[in-house]
Structures are given as C-alpha cells and as structure tokens.
Chains A and B, each alone.
Chain A
Amino acid sequence: MIVQACMLGYKHRIPVTVFLLFITIFAAIGMQRLQVDTSIDSLIPSEDPARQIYQKVMGEFGTDNKTIVYIKDKDLWTPEKLTRLEQLHLAIEKLDGVTRVDGLFSLHTVHGVDGKIISRPVLRAAPKTIEDALSAKQSALSNPLYIGNFFSNDGNVTAMIVSVEDNDDHNNFSRLIYQALQEQLNIQKSEFEYITQVGPPRINAELKQSLYEDFTILGPLSAVILVISILLFMRSWLSAIVPLVTSLITIIWTFGMLGWLGIPLNILSAMIPSLIIVIGSTEDTHLMAAFLRGLDENADKESSKYEALKYMARHIGLPLVLTVSTTALGFASNLFSNIGLIQHFSIAATFAMLANGIITVLVLPLMLFLFGSDKNTSLVKDKETSTLPNRLVRLFRHSQDHFPILTLVITAALCVFFIFHASKLYVTNDPLSYFQSDRPLIHDVKRIHEDLAGVKIFFITLESKQEKAFQHPKNIKKLSDIQNFLDKQGVYDRSISLADHLKFINREFRNIGTEGSLPETRKLVAQYLMFFHRSDLDSYVSHDYSRANIVVRHNVTDSHSLNKYIRELEEVMKTVTGPNMKSYIVSENLMVNHAAETLMIAQVKALVILLTLIFLIMSAMFTSFKGGFIALIPAIIPITLMFGIMGLLEIPLNPGTAMVAVIAIGIAIDGTIHLLARYNELCRRSSDYVGAVNIAVREEATPLIVSSLSLAFGFGVLIFSNFTIVAQFGALAAATMLFSIFANLLITPIIMARIRLVGLYQILAMSIDREVLDSSPLLQNMTDYQRRKAILISELHEFKKGALLVEQDTVGRDMYLILSGEVEVVRKDNGESRSLAILKPGQIFGEIGYIRETERTADVIATEDVSTLRFNYERMQKDLIFFPNIVAKLNFNISYVLGQRLADMVGNSKNK
C-alpha cells in the first residue's frame, strides 16, 4: 500500500495535481484569517491555580499593565524643561486609548512644616521661575512614596505612568498605542538627554515586529542554506528544488490550517517555516538519493525513470512513513501542553510534519516525472570519491575497525561527563529575556532599573478573615516586617505598601524626622486613611481592609534565582503572618516561570514517552527488543550531549530549549531508521553482517550526513532569530543534529555489527511470498508471530539457475525453505546421478543436516533462479533460546516433513 501511495503522483498525475491545487488554494484562503498572539498570557497554563489568585489580586488591586515613560535630563528642574514635560504630559493624556497619566503634573504631596500640613500638587503647571521649579523638585523628592516610582534619587530622572484601556490587542491596539506614544516622545526627544517608554504596548509591539522580521528572514535564509547544502552534497538542481516546492506547499497548508482553526501564531511559530524547509527536506533527500540509486540499478532498462521510482518507493516508502511518524511524534509530544504557546506551536509543527510527508509522497514523483533525468548524474554515483561524507565515513570506519571497544568506552565516558554537567541544568523563563540582550528595549529596561526601579513587578498579598484587619497597627506592622525582609534580601528595587503610606503621613502630621513610623492606634490609622482617596490605596489594600498588598518592583532577570528568593520569602511570610492569615506571592512573571518549571517536568515525561514509543515501534519493526534498543542509542547520545552542553554553557531550560530534546530525537531517529532499514535489507541477502553494516553505512552516509548537515544548518539559521529562545533552540538543535551524525555513523554501526536485526517491513514487503510461507509444512500450526520470529532468524539467499545449493557428502547444518523457483535433489552414487525430487516453493531441504550434524545425502541444484530462506541450526538454537514453543513447533514440523519423506521413500520402494 505504501509503495502504491508513493507511486500515486506518478500514476495519477492529473487527479493528484488537482487535489494538491484544491487544498493549497483552500489553505491560502485560510491564511488570510491568521492571527498573531504575542501575549504573555499564552505562557501561562490556563488551569494554573496561581492564575486564579493572580486574577483575583489583579481584579482587586489593579493591573500592572502600565507603560513607564522615562525622561532623563540633568536640567530637568528648569522652567524650560518642565514646560516641555507638561506639553508631553498633556499630549499623552489626549491620546486615544490612554485612560490616565500619573506623573509630575498629577501628583499631590503633603508636607508637615512648622505644625502646618501643606497639601499641594507637586506641580499644577510648568513653573515660570527657576525658584518655583526647584521648590517643586524639593517637594517631589521629599516624598518617599515617589522615589523610585516617579523620581530618581538625584531628581534627574522622572517617570510618567501611562495607563491604557484594557484591550485584547485586537486591531493592533498595542502597536498603535506604542506608536502614538513614541510619536509624542519623538517630538520632545531633542529637548531631553534621554526619553523612552517601556511597557506592555512596546513589548507586545516589539514582539510582533520581531516575529514578522523572523518570518521574513528565517524562512528564506533556511531555503538558501538548504539549496546550497543540497547542491554541495547532491550536485543536483532537482534535488534542491523539490524540497523547496514541497516546503512551500507545506507552509501554505500549515498556516492555512492555523487560519481556519483560529490558532494564533506566536513567537515560536517564527521557526515553523524554517523547520518545514529543513526537516521536510531530509525526506526529499532520502527519496532523491533512493531515486538516483534506482536510476543506477536500472540504467539498462528502457523505463529507467519508472523503475527508479518503483525502487525508491519500495526501499524508502516504509522508512518514510516511519520517519515522518517519529518526527511528528516528537512535535506531537507537546500537543497536550497546558501552555498555550507550546501547544499552538506543537499543533502547527505536528501538522506541518504530517502534511509535508503527504505532500512529499505526492509531489516528488510528479516532479520527477516532469523534470527528472533518466540517468544519474549526481554524487550518488561517485561513492568512492573523496567527498565530505565519504571522508567522514572512512574516518569512522577506521575507528570501527581498529578501536571499536575504545570508541564505545570513550563515548560512554563522554556521556557520563555530559550527564554530570546536565545535572546543573536549571529553568529560567523571563519573557523579557526572549529578546536579544543588545536590543534597545532591554537597555531601556536596565536604565529604568538603575535610575528608578525595575519594571518587573510581583505582589505579596496578605489576607485576613477579619474585616478592617489592616487598619490594625499590628497587622500593618506585618507588612512592614515583610518589607524589611525584602530589603534584607537585597535583590529588589522597591516595595510599597499601605505601611509606607501610613508611615509617610504619620511623619508629616507629627513632623518627626526623616524616618516615618507606623501610627500606634487603630483609630489614628482610620483617621489618617481619610486623607487618602480610595484610588490612592487601590493597589495596596482591599476595600474592607481585610486584604493588603505589597507591590514589589525588581529587575531580577534570572527567574531561577528569583524563585529561590521567593521561596525564602515564603518561609519568612509564614512566620510573620501567623496561622490566621493567608499569604500569596503572585505575578504574571512568576506564573510564567512556574509554567516553565512544569514545562520541564512535562518535557521529561514527553521524552520518556517518546523514547518508549520509539523503542516499542522499533522493537516491533525488528520483532526484537534489541532492535528497539539499538535504535535508541543514536537518539540518546545526542540529547545527552546536548543537555550536557546546556549545563556546561549555563544555557537555561526555557520554552524553546526545553523542546529541543523531544523534537531532535524525533528527527535524529529518521537517519537511524534509514540506516537500520538498509542494513536489514542487506542482511537478508548475506550472512556477512559486518559487510552489511559497512555497505549500509556507505550507502546511507551521504543522505544521512547531507540531511543532518542540512538540518544543522537549517536549525543554525534560527540563531539569527530576534528571540533568544528561538536562537537557543536553533543552536542546540543544530548541535544535536551534528551529534546524531556521530552517533548514527560511528557508534550505531559498531553495535549493529554485533547484534543482528531483521526488519518486519521487509517481511511485510514480501507479500508475494506470503502464500508460500503460509503453506509451507515447516511453518504449519504456528501463529503469525511465531512464524515471523522464526523467519526473522533466517537469512534470505538467492541463487542463479544451476547453482549448487547443497553439496553431497559435505557437512552443513543449514536448512532451506524455498520461496521461489525450483530445485532438484540429486543423489550421486558410484558416479551416477539420480534425481530424487523436484522441490517447489514452500518446500524445505537440508533438514537432515539441520537436525543432526552429518554429511549431506544429496546435491541440491537450482533448476531456475531460486530464492530461499536459510535456517542455521546453531543460530536458531541461540536466538530462540527464550522461545521454546517456537523451537518445539519447528522441530515438530521438521519431524513431520522427515516423517513424510520417510513415508514417501517407503512407498516408493514398495512400488519398486
């Protein structure tokens, strides 16, 4: 069926073309519905319990979704600069979508001076004189609630906090707000030393912009790399063009599907075109290599192209299905991720891999029919030339031949070394770290952190069962105690709570020193609170004063470290709050980071599941757990090295890097499948397993190295992504691909040469012989599995007409089952030859020597081309040691055959 499917594009060219066109047009229409989602929300699992707490806290204490406009100038407090600042303030207030601007011209402050309480705006309007400007400066800087939030310690920096409408970012709301703000900033740019904005609109807009840039750069770059590498290694234009065509169609199908299903693009989606081009091309490369080999083998035939296609379908069809399945499986392992970002990427990538398989199967034969040559003019012919793959193979071969054990020991030592370093892996996932560190946005974030306070925020919420609990000084002191511990940790920039407000107003009303203290009584707290508008305290205390909130600003970029500090904080909070008060630490960033930690656990699970599935699939394919085991080796070694390198280079696990292992395994196993498939095909024809390994490696090395290098280059292209996590993913995946060459061509052959495998798919492919096998007396009364197992331990041997299969008077312990053709059993006595029997497909010979080590009683000669399965006694005993039922069945059937022969002989002698 697979072979037929592979020939569809050739045999039914018009229907296939119509089908492809129809789906592609349908998908292209769907592409117009594509949406982009770069929200941080997509990084947080929807069912994360912290999310509900976070939403509750946000609902109660207000969102942190605000833009900071940062203005720096050493002459800020002059009438001229303040006039400009006022213009900016008014202009921003006027912008559509802006709901509020908090800054110098909207702030009020209170001073206790000489027994008076003076309440006034910091600046109602731009001052006319320098004295007024300096007075405003003094007023602003004397309010501790404003330092760090609105003003730097030296007063050279001020901030405006711009609140915008809650919007789901439809119609590019973020970008429009960001641009509108930036326009205003640009007007004033020349007036100040430095002016910038940082906030969700900018981050979102830059994420989208970067995503678009990635789309426009990475895909074409991957295509160029692909073409160059294929031309370099395959020396065939068609081999380079075919994957481009299949990739293009796959990209249209994939994004069309996303459009129709309403699945948005996200920052990980930026790499999908590259992945399609690169991963998809590997199958094309293998198919093209097989096609060219088919041309070689059928060079003398008239319809060599057709024969070559058949050859390609027969030899690569099943491996293609398997490799597409395992690659898709690698991506699909994240299908059920509870993180939207990962899940959406997984859906898109899995679909892309499957679609690419189908498209390749349909398009490639079609293109070969239209544009393919009748003769192989490519590298495949030049197997013995000194190309890179051949040189590499020769190098590996040297190690395999001369130091196999040493090679394995060194590899094992390397694995141990990298496993040790892999143990240092840690998770970190700061959304801002997705940007490259040299990006202006990141510089601006640092600048704000240095002069004011970090733009990152988390909330510490204390919850009491009692109303008005946080009008009670002892509870307010708890807030203060927690803040003292935050100060002691020394990693946060600023924390503000109700306690700070009360300390400040108490200080001003009492005219006491610079250090404020908390009001002593509940009544005084309540009376002070009258002087705050509710909106002043919205972020710090709930309406009924049963819940209070500490807003912490920081710039801790390493969320792994942040988690450590948070855990310390949680311990202290338990002690401070006591048993009657609940406490939470929430923020979007913390949830994102927590999600990354769960992601790591999920990836480990996915990895184990994937390895198990690959093991089971390969074990089933080879009807042997050894097959599954061998297939795992080239998968495990690269990811061990990859994790080790991550540990060594301190590359953290994040949504990008965490996925490398499962995706890379899914891809790296493709080469292994092709290699093992070819090896088994060769093993069926020869008992020289080492030779089979060498031939398989030599034949598969070029496509394997070409595809691995193409993959490495293709993944390497992602280094140019605007997103760090994509770049890290690309670099690690590229390294893993290179490691897989080493594992596939150096380590796997050493093991393969020592363990023999036979492919199930070959048995399946031998449908022509199934009837023969079913009717053979040797395999009677055996289950399918028992038959398969017995057959898999045999060897396939083909003989030309006239060949001597068994020679009389020689000793041999092989027994043969005829698959096709006829043989004649000839007994030579005293120089006379006597034909004893003509044996046909399904019948066996050599069974006496198999049962007992004795001289052969007759010659067996092929009267036409013969195909046989050879059963060796020792191997059968050894390999079937754990299958006594199969041995018993075989022995019984042989006894039956022998008994039948004996009965025939007795019958014949009676007749004579």
Chain B
Amino acid sequence: MMNLSLQQHQIALLILLAACLSVEESMASINSETSGVEIMEEVQKRHQQFPYIYEEQSMVMLDRQGDRDTRKARRFSRVEEDGSVKFLLLFDYPREVKGVALLANRDPDGQTSKYIYLPALGERLIESAGEGSNDSFLGTDFSVENLTGEMLSDHYYARRDDRDVDGIKYFVLDVYNEDDELEQQILRRHFIRQDNLYITLTHHFDKQGRITRIQSHHDLKAVDGDMWRANMILMEDKRQEHQSLIKISRRVFSHDYVPEEVFTAEWLYENYPYIETLEESDAVINEVESLEEVSDEMIEESI
C-alpha cells in the first residue's frame, strides 16, 4: 500500500544514460523481420537524445468520484560526462508540499542512491531504499518507469502483428521480463506509431494477464528533428478507476537549466528551508486555501 519506491528512478536514469550515450543516427529501416528489441532500440535512439532536461509539469489526479488533485513540479535530469546521472523531481504546489523532493544519483559504477526531502520534517535527506520498479509514486498512477521508458536489457520484447487504428499504423510489442522468454507473464503491450516511432499507447497487465492500467501519450510535438515528445501523458487505472494526467507546460533541453548544485542537499535546504513554526491559525489557513482554490482553477484551466 505504501508507495515510496524511488528505486524506479534507477531504471529511468539508466535509460537516460543509455539514450544519451547513443546519439547517433539510428533510423534504420524497420521491416517485418525486425525484432521487438530492435524496434525498441530504434525508439530510444530517436527520442532520448539530450543529456540535460528541465521540465515544468502539472499533475492532475482524478479519483473514481471525479475528484481532482492538482500538483505542480519541476523535473531536472542531467547526465554527467563521467556517466553519472542526477535526477530531481521537485514539488512546488500545493503550498503544503512545496519543496518536497525526490533526489537520485547514479554513480558511474552503477550504484544508485535515492533520497527524499521533506521540508516539514527537518533539514535532512532521508535515504530511500526499496523494491519494485513498477510501483506508482507519490500518490499518482504512474511509476517512474512509466514516464521514462524501460530498461531494454531487463526485458524481452515479442513483436506482434502490426495494427492499423484510424488510419495510423502501429508496431505492437509485448513486453516480458528478460528471463521470461517463454512469454508466460506479459507485463505491457506497447503500441508504437510507425510514422515517428513514438510509443503512444501502453497497456499494463497484472499477473492474470488482465489490463490494469492504460497509458496514453498526447499532444505529440517534434522537438528536434526526428525526436518527439508528448506534452500530455495520461494513465488510467482500470481497477481503482483513477486517472493521472501529467501536462508538461515547459521543457528545456539545456545545461543552464539543470545546474549541478540543484542536485545537492544544500541547495534544497537553502531554497526550501525547514522553519519550525507553530501551526497556522485557522484564519490564515482559510485565507491561503481560498487563494489556492483560485490558483487550482487557473491551473486546471491551463491544463
């Protein structure tokens, strides 16, 4: 029930690393003989080309009653020259969670460390350890792996018959654990647009082979040549009847937007310090909340 598994970032960072290190022309032609993993390699080569990424995101979570939660966060990711990867997800909104951060570092030797910073708990980073690469994070329906792509070496890809939906042709790949070559336990099914090699739809399965979640990518934009990015990602949890929507309102591929110091505890403490305060009075809370409601509406409208 708890979802503290930040270890997923490890995988994400590995993917980023792999992608960034192989920025070579990779648009080899794909034909009926091309294997699943080869298609995936093409997908990653094409769409994961930059080492420095800064994103401003809005997250909207919709529960079965139709109630919505809105959060705003910034995502920093950086691949250093020595091969180490740094990742920071920093929350700005709602006000109570401003400064909450997920910080991950992967050393060149492959060791990954993850930390959580909760400003309200005090100026200390709490190391996070755990299992489970497919667990949702911070109350959303996404896992980190869902957002960043999967580690190819950990999986086995079985190519299925191509499909044509509404005039758009798709490659269809079933994803299994790398050691499951007998194709007994399907994890996901990717639908990859043949025209831009972008995964626009993924079905996630449970152990019984039932679809539990559907992830779809929308508002696709070509950001650099053949490289595409989705500005909206929707995850629908079929069992819980929840939905989580991430809208990227701003994305910058620039070294300047991801300075090295943001990945440090000091930077977090300085910018989001712990202030030992007494509880706010109800009047103050109400005033702030009414402002937040207006802000909520504005954010949701913008989304």
| Cβ proximity bits B13-24 to A, threshold 8 Å, 1 near / 0 not | 000000000000
> Does B280 make an interface contact (CB < 8 A)?
yes
Q: Smallest Cβ distance from A581 to chain B, in angstroms?
A: 13
From A466, A467, A521, A531, contact of B279 by CB (8 A)? A521
> Does B94 make an interface contact (CB < 8 A)?
yes
> Does A59 make an interface contact (CB < 8 A)?
yes
A379 to B4, CA, bound (A): 87
Q: Which residues of A contact B67 (CB under 8 A)?
A: 543-544
> Does B131 make an interface contact (CB < 8 A)?
yes
Chain B CB count within 10 A is highest, among A472, A526, A536, for A526
A108 to B240, CA, bound (A): 16
Q: Is the interface of B mostly helix, strand, loop or mixed?
A: loop
Task: Tell me whether A527 and B120 are in contact in the complex, defined as CB-CB below 8 angstroms, given that A119-B130, A521-B279, A534-B63 are known contacts.
Answer: yes
A1 to B97, CA, bound (A): 87
Q: Which residues of A contact B239 (CB under 8 A)?
A: 99-100
Chain B CB count within 10 A is highest, among A109, A530, A532, for A530
Q: Smallest Cβ distance from A524 to chain B, in angstroms?
A: 4
User: Which parts of A498-546 form the interface with B (CB within 8 Å)?
Assistant: 505, 509-510, 519-536, 538, 543-544
Contact A522 B279 (CB under 8 A): yes
| Cβ proximity bits A107-132 to B, threshold 8 Å, 1 near / 0 not | 11110000111111100100000000
A522 to B286, CA, bound (A): 13
> Does A90 make an interface contact (CB < 8 A)?
yes
Q: Which residues of B contact A296 (CB under 8 A)?
A: none
Q: Which residues of B contact A538 (CB under 8 A)?
A: 63
Q: For A531, give the chain B residue with the smallest CB separation.
A: B4
Contact A116 B138 (CB under 8 A): no
| Cβ proximity bits A79-110 to B, threshold 8 Å, 1 near / 0 not | 00000000000100110000110000001111
> Does A473 make an interface contact (CB < 8 A)?
yes
Chain B CB count within 10 A is highest, among A522, A526, A534, for A534
Chain B CB count within 10 A is highest, among A110, A505, A544, for A110
From B2, B91, B94, B289, contact of A119 by CB (8 A)? B2
Chain B CB count within 10 A is highest, among A108, A115, A124, for A108
Task: Tell me whether A533 and B126 are in contact in the complex, defined as CB-CB below 8 angstroms, given that A120-B131, A509-B118, A527-B96 are known contacts.
Answer: no
| Cβ proximity bits B118-151 to A, threshold 8 Å, 1 near / 0 not | 1111000011111110011011000000000000
Q: Which residues of A contact B6 (CB under 8 A)?
A: 119
Q: For B124, give the chain A residue with the smallest CB separation.
A: A115
A510 to B126, CA, bound (A): 10
Task: Tell me whether A59 and B65 are in contact in the complex, defined as CB-CB below 8 angstroms, given that A100-B239, A534-B139 are known contacts.
Answer: yes
> Does A204 make an interface contact (CB < 8 A)?
no
> Does B100 make an interface contact (CB < 8 A)?
yes
> Does B254 make an interface contact (CB < 8 A)?
no
Q: Which residues of A contact B94 (CB under 8 A)?
A: 526
Q: Smallest Cβ distance from A879 to chain B, in angstroms?
A: 75
Q: Smallest Cβ distance from A472 to chain B, in angstroms?
A: 7
A81 to B293, CA, bound (A): 52
Interface size (B, Cβ < 8 Å)?
A: 46
Contact B289 A531 (CB under 8 A): no
| Cβ proximity bits A538-572 to B, threshold 8 Å, 1 near / 0 not | 10000110000000000000000000000000000
Task: Tell me whether A119 and B97 are in contact in the complex, defined as CB-CB below 8 angstroms, given that A59-B65, A100-B239 are known contacts.
Answer: no
Contact A522 B285 (CB under 8 A): yes
> Does B56 make an interface contact (CB < 8 A)?
no
User: Which parts of A339-388 form the interface with B (CB within 8 Å)?
Assistant: none
A520 to B277, CA, bound (A): 10
Task: Tell me whether A472 and B279 are in contact in the complex, defined as CB-CB below 8 angstroms, given that A119-B4, A530-B138, A534-B61 are known contacts.
Answer: yes
A167 to B263, CA, bound (A): 52
A531 to B126, CA, bound (A): 13
From A108, A117, A530, A543, contact of B128 by CB (8 A)? A117
> Does A474 make an interface contact (CB < 8 A)?
yes
Contact A536 B128 (CB under 8 A): no
Contact B126 A116 (CB under 8 A): yes
> Does B249 make an interface contact (CB < 8 A)?
no
Contact B132 A117 (CB under 8 A): no
Contact B118 A533 (CB under 8 A): no
A526 to B93, CA, bound (A): 11
Task: Tell me whether A530 and B63 are in contact in the complex, defined as CB-CB below 8 angstroms, given that A119-B130, A521-B120 are known contacts.
Answer: no
Chain B CB count within 10 A is highest, among A59, A118, A145, A472, for A118
Contact B5 A523 (CB under 8 A): no
| Cβ proximity bits A594-630 to B, threshold 8 Å, 1 near / 0 not | 0000000000000000000000000000000000000
Q: Which residues of B contact A109 (CB under 8 A)?
A: 1-2
A and B contact pairs by CB, cutoff 8 A, 17 listed: A60-B65, A93-B207, A99-B239, A107-B1, A108-B2, A116-B129, A117-B4, A118-B130, A119-B3, A119-B6, A120-B5, A466-B282, A471-B96, A509-B126, A522-B285, A523-B120, A536-B2
Interface residues of B (CB under 8 A from A): 1-6, 61, 63, 65, 67, 69, 91, 94, 96-97, 100, 116, 118-121, 126-132, 135-136, 138-139, 206-208, 239-240, 242, 277, 279-280, 282, 285-286, 289, 293
- 8 shortest interchain CB distances as A-B pairs: A119-B4, A526-B96, A543-B67, A524-B120, A119-B130, A523-B120, A110-B2, A116-B127
Known: A145-B1, A534-B63. 12 other contacts (CB 8 A): A90-B208, A108-B132, A116-B127, A117-B129, A118-B130, A119-B4, A119-B132, A524-B118, A524-B121, A527-B96, A530-B97, A531-B2
